[in-house]
């Protein structure tokens, strides 16, 4: 038995030596370079791939199945003259025996000088298409008689076979160096480039952390952009569970190009990535982002990856100077009245959304000392569906508005008003001011019509305090929506110094010329803060009640005013005509009739009134006021006239009636007697609105008629004294009518 065992052992040893000798002979006597043509034909027949092997093929068989290719090119067999890849070096080796157990144990895989040149022509066909398909020539050469006979037995499909175990990977490392990928789309004239690709990994084993480091340069032509980036971390995957993790992710780099307007963006990101395809979820936890001065923390979670992925998470941006950040990434901010605006910015919010849009929920936003809470975002990127529901403590809107540039038309009107104010004097003795002629409004375009036509907006905004045009409004509420070119202001309300306003309106840009409408209601709104402009005091004070409905068209202030139409009614309570003494004007008229000269200066420069009311009928920018009424202590004032809103001018005829001898006249020249009671004293008011009552003068023509009337009344009285009761009442009336004509 011992001899038999010894013989068997020697036999096995000899057999092993024979196998080793055969393998040695195979690797040393068999030259793969002699079979390049067969290899190329095999690639062409099986994969429709045109393979060119210009360099030598090196190989080994046992215990490692090794392969080394140099100087090779690949192309689709359909377009062999257009290679899509060339390779300087590929080296790899696989252990032979583990292959029998469906295990892939490899040493280092080295790829050097790989260039992928992917081209899509003007017809949309790529130079890589057709790869993996059987060669057309071989398929066409096969005749029907060569087809395998049909079998009556049902064929076994892949789904009928039991699923095999996945191949187990065990690779010492993977190195990709000096590589480049180019993609060009002739249809879109779009080009992408990934160059200087350097990839290095540690041992690649399923379920274990795989150290990975990747660096590359990225470029595109539309827009022209260049970026450098480096990525490193630990990659872990489980193909059976369809679970992939990127632990301790670190991404850093910099970018520059047309979108950044010559500026440079330095960016970095960190965190833990997880993709679970079995559960259809993806997560980015421990998220840290930086972009120049911007620093952010957060977490992102995606679910239902197989459908319309849903987003949830949170984001927090540390305080930063938003103006400097935006300028640093090439964003050109419009000129603002405050050069330091956007200096303070801070944000914290929950995120929600999908692939269609993203919303910031539970938002806490701080901007230049203002705090806003609520929600903000884009509900649908394709429709530009903007959604905002915000509440803020305060907002100084003036800081963000464009500087008030004075155009030539505005400068001309300002000079005209200045001359009118200088010529008006303070005592009303100067000639009647001329009617203004200079246009008061800009013809610059105001509305971004193209953007408004695409806008899908839902806005709800509440502010504790809003500063606009240097006025502080309180408890402001704005609600608006827009879609398809129709923007509706459902509500705009607020308070100003005890008064309140409520407005509704709409902007319609669906046609070539924008159409606008507005309904306005003011309740006890103080006029002085609204009319005080450019250092000039308000010409009138009081609390205004207004109901108005207007419409217009066009896309500039000038066009809107020239096309303004509508109606309004107003009542001004507890008012004052500033720097205009109607008593003085009336005194001068009475003194003229008394043929006396006033000797005392006026005791006051303003005229108070209890109420001023009337209605406006606006046509093409001119407001007609046919029923002006005012209640002044001791006086009744009525009038009619026009407000030319195009040049902000007024032209009125006003009548003042004494309500009996009820007031003391300190100047004897103005002594009122019974003859003046009930007479309507005429005033003419003309000039810029800024003059207010200072634009009014005593109407000399009307005063002459009053003098004639008073002379007729006096003569009638003397006749009655002489005639007494000797004349019938009818004759007396006839005489009065004669002298009163």
Task: Give the pLDDT band of residue 530 (cuts 50, 70, 90).
Answer: confident
Residue 670's pLDDT is: 56
Residue 8's pLDDT is: 45
Q: What is the mean pLDDT of residues 564-582?
A: 86
pLDDT above 70 covers a percentage of the chain that reads: 74
Distance CA 547, CA 521 (A): 5
Neighbours of 103 (CB within 10 A): 15
Q: φ and ψ at 381, to 5 degrees?
A: -65, -40
Q: Is pLDDT of 387 > 70?
A: yes
Adjacent-strand bridge partners of 350: 314, 361
Residue 307's pLDDT is: 87
Distance CA 657, CA 672 (A): 12
Instruction: Report CA Rg, the chain.
Output: 46
Which residue is listed with tokens 């005890």? 498
Q: Which residue has the higher pLDDT, 150 or 110?
A: 110
Half-sphere exposure of 96 (CA within 13 A, CB side): 9
Q: What is the mean pLDDT of residues 25-34?
A: 60
Residue 19's pLDDT is: 44
519, 491 Cβ separation under 8 angstroms: no
Tell me how many degrees the CA angle 426-427-431 measures, rounded to the nearest 5.
95
Q: Structure tokens of 277? A: 């395809």
Distance CA 701, CA 690 (A): 26
Helix, strand, coil: what percent of the chain each, to 5? 25, 50, 30
Residue 139's pLDDT is: 44
Q: Is pLDDT of 590 > 90?
A: no
pLDDT above 90 covers a percentage of the chain that reads: 46
Q: Which helix (H) or strand (E) holds 19?
A: helix 2-29
Q: Which residue has the higher pLDDT, 36 or 706?
A: 36
Q: What is the mean pLDDT of residues 16-37?
A: 56
Residue 80's pLDDT is: 81
Residue 633's pLDDT is: 73
Distance CA 199, CA 212 (A): 7
End-to-end distance of the chain based on CA atoms, in angstroms? Answer: 165
What is the maximum alpha-carbon separation in the chain? 185
Q: DSSP per residue over 186-222, as a string?
A: TTTTEEEEEEEEEEEE--EETTS-EEEEEEEEEEEET
Which residue is listed with tokens 């930063």? 320
85, 118 Cβ separation under 8 angstroms: no
Q: For residue 660, give the 3-state DSSP assignment.
A: coil
Residue 133's pLDDT is: 65
Residue 155's pLDDT is: 43
Q: DSSP per residue over 303-319, as a string?
A: E-TTSS-EEEEEEEEEE
Q: What is the mean pLDDT of residues 241-251?
A: 94
- Which of 116-120, 165-169, 175-179, 391-395 is the most confident on average? 391-395
Q: Of 136-145, 305-314, 545-554, give the lowest mean pLDDT range.
A: 136-145
Residue 732's pLDDT is: 42
Residue 413's pLDDT is: 77
Residue 267's pLDDT is: 97
Q: Which residue has the higher pLDDT, 106 or 557?
A: 557
Distance CA 582, CA 594 (A): 18
Supply the pTM of this predicted model: 0.77
Q: Of 71-80, 130-139, 298-307, 625-634, give the lowest mean pLDDT range.
A: 130-139
| Alpha helix ranges (H) inside 226-353 | 322-328
Residue 423: alpha-carbon gap to chain centroid:
48
Residue 167's pLDDT is: 63
Q: Of 140-149, 231-240, 385-394, 499-508, give the lowest mean pLDDT range.
A: 140-149
Q: Is pLDDT of 115 > 60?
A: yes
Residue 668's pLDDT is: 57
Q: For residue 259, give the 3-state DSSP assignment.
A: helix
Q: Is pLDDT of 311 > 70?
A: yes
Task: Give the pLDDT band of residue 584 (cuts 50, 70, 90).
Answer: low
Half-sphere exposure of 721 (CA within 13 A, CB side): 6
Q: Which residue has the higher pLDDT, 352 or 37?
A: 352
Residue 681's pLDDT is: 75
Q: Which residue has the higher pLDDT, 287 or 415?
A: 287
Which residue is listed with tokens 């810029």? 688
Q: What is the mean pLDDT of residues 610-616?
A: 93
Q: Is pLDDT of 166 > 50?
A: yes
- Which of 142-156, 450-464, 682-696 is the most confident on average? 450-464
Residue 354's pLDDT is: 92
Mean pLDDT, all residues of the chain = 81
Distance CA 647, CA 410 (A): 10
476, 494 Cβ separation under 8 angstroms: yes
The pLDDT tens digits of the residues spanning 423-436 come to 766 656 678 888 88
Which residues have C-beta within 8 Å of that of residue 614, sequence separation ≥ 6?
Answer: 569, 570, 625, 626, 627, 628, 629
Is the link from the previous residue into 223 a cis peptide, with omega within 30 of 0? Answer: yes
Which residues have C-beta within 8 Å of that of residue 453, sequence separation ≥ 6?
Answer: 484, 485, 509, 510
625, 616 Cβ separation under 8 angstroms: yes
Q: Which residue has the higher pLDDT, 404 or 98?
A: 404
Q: Is pLDDT of 403 > 80?
A: yes
Q: In Å, how far are 42, 302, 346, 391 from 374, measured between CA atoms?
A: 66, 23, 15, 6
Task: Give the pLDDT band of residue 89 (cuts 50, 70, 90).
Answer: confident
Residue 350's pLDDT is: 97
The pLDDT tens digits of the residues spanning 542-552 come to 999 999 999 99
Q: φ and ψ at 430, to 5 degrees?
A: -75, 165
Residue 278's pLDDT is: 93
Q: Of 134-143, 206-215, 431-440, 657-666, give the lowest mean pLDDT range.
A: 134-143
Q: Is pLDDT of 20 > 60?
A: no
Q: For residue 239, give the 3-state DSSP assignment.
A: coil
Residue 47's pLDDT is: 74
293, 328 Cβ separation under 8 angstroms: yes
| Alpha helix ranges (H) inside 96-240 | 96-99, 136-141
Q: Structure tokens of 232? A: 């490193």
- Domain ranges within the chain, ordered by starting residue: 21-133+167-222, 425-442+515-526+537-698, 704-741
Q: Structure tokens of 319? A: 């305080």
Q: For residue 153, give the 3-state DSSP assignment.
A: coil
Q: Which residues of 587-608 are buried (b: 16+ CB within 10 A; e: fewer)?
A: bbbbbbbbeeebeeebeeeebe
- Which of 160-169, 666-675, 700-709, 732-741 is the most confident on average? 700-709
């Amino acid at each position: 038995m011992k001899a038999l065992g010894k013989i068997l052992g020697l036999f096995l040893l000899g057999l092993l030596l024979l196998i080793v000798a055969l393998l040695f002979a195979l690797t040393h006597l068999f030259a793969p370079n002699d079979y390049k043509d067969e290899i190329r034909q095999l690639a062409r027949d099986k994969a429709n791939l045109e393979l060119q092997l210009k360099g030598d093929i090196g190989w080994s068989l046992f215990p490692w199945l090794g392969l080394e290719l140099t100087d090779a090119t690949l192309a689709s067999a359909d377009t062999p003259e257009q290679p899509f890849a060339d390779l300087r070096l590929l080296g790899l080796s696989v252990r032979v025996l583990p292959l029998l157990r469906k295990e892939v144990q490899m040493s280092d895989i080295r790829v050097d000088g790989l260039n992928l040149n992917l081209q899509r022509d003007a017809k949309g066909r790529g130079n890589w298409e057709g790869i993996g398909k059987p060669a057309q020539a071989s398929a066409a050469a096969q005749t029907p008689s060569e087809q395998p006979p049909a079998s009556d037995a049902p064929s076994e499909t892949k789904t009928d076979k039991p699923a095999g175990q996945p191949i187990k990977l065990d690779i010492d490392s993977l190195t990709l160096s000096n590589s480049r990928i180019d993609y060009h789309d002739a249809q879109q004239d779009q080009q992408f480039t990934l160059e200087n690709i350097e990839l290095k990994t540690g041992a690649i084993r399923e379920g274990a952390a795989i150290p990975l480091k990747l660096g590359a340069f990225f470029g595109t032509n539309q827009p022209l952009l260049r970026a450098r980036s480096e990525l490193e971390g630990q990659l872990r995957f489980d193909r059976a569970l369809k679970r992939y993790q990127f632990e301790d992710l670190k991404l850093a780099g910099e970018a520059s190009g047309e979108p950044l307007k010559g500026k440079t963006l330095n960016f970095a990101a960190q965190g833990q990535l997880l993709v679970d395809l079995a559960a259809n979820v993806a997560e980015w936890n421990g998220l840290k982002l930086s972009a120049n001065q911007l620093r952010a923390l957060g977490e992102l979670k995606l679910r239902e990856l197989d459908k319309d992925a849903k987003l949830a998470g949170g984001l927090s941006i540390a305080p930063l100077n938003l103006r400097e950040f935006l300028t640093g990434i090439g964003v050109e901010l419009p000129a603002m009245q405050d050069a330091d605006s956007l200096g303070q910015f801070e944000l914290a919010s929950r995120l929600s959304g999908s692939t269609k849009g993203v919303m910031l929920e539970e938002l806490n936003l701080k901007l230049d000392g203002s705090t806003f809470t609520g929600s903000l975002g884009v509900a649908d990127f394709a429709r530009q569906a903007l959604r905002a529901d915000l509440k803020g403590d305060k907002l100084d809107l003036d800081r963000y508005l464009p500087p008030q540039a004075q155009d030539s038309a505005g400068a001309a009107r300002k000079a005209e008003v200045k001359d009118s104010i200088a010529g008006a004097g303070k005592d009303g003795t100067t000639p009647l001011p001329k009617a203004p002629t200079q246009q008061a409004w800009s013809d610059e375009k105001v509305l971004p019509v193209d953007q408004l036509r695409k806008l899908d907006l839902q806005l709800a905004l509440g502010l504790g305090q809003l500063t606009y045009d240097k006025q502080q409004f309180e408890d402001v509420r704005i609600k608006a929506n827009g879609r398809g070119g129709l923007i509706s202001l459902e509500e705009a309300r607020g308070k100003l110094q005890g008064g309140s306003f409520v407005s509704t309106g709409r902007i319609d840009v669906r046609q070539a010329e924008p159409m606008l409408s507005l309904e306005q209601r003011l309740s006890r709104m103080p006029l002085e803060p609204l009319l005080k402009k450019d250092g000039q005091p308000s010409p009138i004070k009081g609390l205004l009640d207004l109901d108005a409905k207007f419409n217009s068209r066009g896309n500039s202030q000038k066009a809107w005013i020239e096309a303004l139409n509508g109606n309004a009614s107003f009542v001004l309570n507890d008012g004052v005509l500033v720097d205009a003494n109607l008593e003085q004007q009336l005194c001068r008229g009475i003194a003229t009739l008394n043929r006396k000269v006033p000797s005392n200066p006026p005791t006051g420069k303003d005229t108070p009134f209890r109420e001023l009311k009337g209605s406006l009928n606006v046509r093409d920018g001119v407001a007609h006021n046919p029923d002006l009424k005012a209640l002044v202590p001791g006086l009744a004032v009525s009038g009619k006239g026009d407000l030319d809103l195009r040049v902000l001018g007024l032209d009125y005829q006003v009548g003042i009636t004494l309500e009996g001898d009820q007031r003391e006249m300190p100047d004897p020249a103005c002594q009122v007697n019974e003859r003046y009671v009930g007479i309507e004293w005429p005033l003419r008011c003309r000039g810029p609105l800024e003059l207010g009552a200072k634009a009014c003068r005593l109407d000399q023509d009307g005063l002459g008629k009053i003098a004639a009337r008073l002379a007729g009344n006096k003569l009638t009285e003397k006749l009655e004294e002489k005639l007494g009761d000797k004349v019938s009442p009818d004759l007396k009336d006839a005489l009065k009518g004669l002298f009163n004509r």
